Amino acid sequence: MNESLAGDQERTNGKRAILIAGPTASGKSALALKLAKDRNGVILNADSMQLYEDLRLVSARPSLEDEAAVPHRLYGVLPASKACSTGEWLRMISDELDTVWSHGNLPVLVGGTGLYFKGLTEGFAELPEISIDHRREARELADREGVEGLKAALVKQGDAQAAASLNDPQRLARALEVVISTGKPLSLWQSEQQSAPLLRGDQCIRIVLAPPRPWLHERIAQRSRLMLSVAGQEEVRLLLEQGLSPSIPAMRAIGVAEIGAYLLGETDLEETIHRLTVATRQYAKRQETWFRNQMADWQRFDPSAEIDLSAIHWLT
């Protein structure tokens, strides 16, 4: 560990962390690996799909070689049948942070799930358990009627604030399932149940990768072809054979529906690659919008060029 980092950690009782966010296929895992090697780090997963043991290729989890090079935690730890809320992830990551710090290592949290980082650094409202039926009702409405249908349903259910303030279909669906299941708007739950953040701003290096669009699109196209490899097809085939509800998170991962249709003979190879590429680009665009709006004060780096690790510094 370099002298500057050691001094910084001493001022915060050793409880420092590096956070790396960015859109899918932007090179987050590669940067995390470099930083972990450089700064005595342990890599902790902050991506909701990479939690699932059934989705190594589909979710682009780190390779076995990378996992052997540096300790990785919270990758592939859940069965596909389990839905994991942000609150549950925060409980898991809290335990992992304490373990990493107790061993004198630096946690390097990496992923594309913006809500995880927001809860980690700003606090999180613990919500009640939502029934599978209500979750399915909200997700099916999202698939059928999109953003406008969700907004109309929220107004009807008494959560006009969420309808007016949210535009992302996943967040709208979440607000709808909460108000349907509890009778109480999401904003009220959030104001009543807000917990303290696990990490303060002065404890973190906070990084967002912001690649040029053409560079990112090329990497997304490459990833789409990799997902449709023999191993990727087998991964999806085994997942579908479990007969899980299509509304649970693992089944909604990009690649599951598209490769599933290919396995059934409904699409050919090139059409499937096109669908995967389009779906991943759309997801990356939603992520970029979130990071731009919710993480405006994070350090930004362009991963299309070599990132100088010495330029990644603590903010005071």
Q: 3-125+196-211+289-311: which CATH topology?
A: Rossmann fold (3.40.50)
Per-residue pLDDT tens for 261-294? 999 999 999 999 999 999 999 999 999 999 999 9
Q: Please choose, from the candidates 140, 121, 126, 143, the residue with its C-alpha nearest in 3D space to the C-alpha of residue 178.
A: 126
Quote the mean pLDDT of the chain: 90
Residue 20's closest CA among 10, 12, 28? Answer: 28
> Which pLDDT belongs to residue 247?
79
Residues 94-99 have a mean pLDDT of: 97
Domain 132-193 of CATH type 1.10.20.140: yes
- Please give the share of the chain, as a percent, with pLDDT higher than 90: 72
Task: Find tokens 């249709």 and name the residue.
Answer: 261
User: Above 90 in pLDDT, residue 57?
Assistant: yes
DSSP H or E stretch at residue 49: none
d(CA 175, CA 164): 12
Position 11 scores a pLDDT of 42
Q: How confident is the model at residue 246 (pLDDT cuts 50, 70, 90)?
A: confident
The arithmetic mean of pLDDT across residues 3-28, rounded, is: 74
Edge-to-edge strands, sheet with 41-45? 72-73, 41-45, 106-111, 17-21, 204-209, 299-301
pLDDT of residue 29 exceeding 60, the answer is: yes
Residue 311 gets which letter from DSSP?
G
**pLDDT at res. 132:** 80
pTM exceeds 0.75 for this model: yes
Q: Rounded distance, CA 134 to CA 43, Å?
A: 35
Q: What is the DSSP string of 179-236?
A: HHHHSS-HHHHHHHHBPPPSS-GGGEEEEEE---HHHHHHHHHHHHHHHTSHHHHHHH
| Nearest alpha-carbon partner for 199 in 298, 274, 133 | 298
Lowest-pLDDT range of 164-173, 226-235, 260-269: 164-173
Domain spans in the chain, listed from the N-terminal domain onward: 3-125+196-211+289-311, 132-193, 214-287
In the chain, beta strands by DSSP E? 17-21, 41-45, 72-73, 106-111, 204-209, 299-301
In single-letter form, the type of residue at position 109 comes to L
How many other C-beta atoms can be found within 10 angstroms of the C-beta atom of residue 28?
Answer: 23
The structure tokens 């190879």 sit at 269
Packed helices 269-294 and 256-263: angle between N→C axes, nearest 10 degrees = 170
Exposed / middle / buried, residue 129 (Cβ in 10 Å: 0-12, 13-18, 19+): exposed
Specify the pairing of strand 72-73 against strand 204-209. unpaired
Domain 214-287 has CATH 3.30.465.10: no
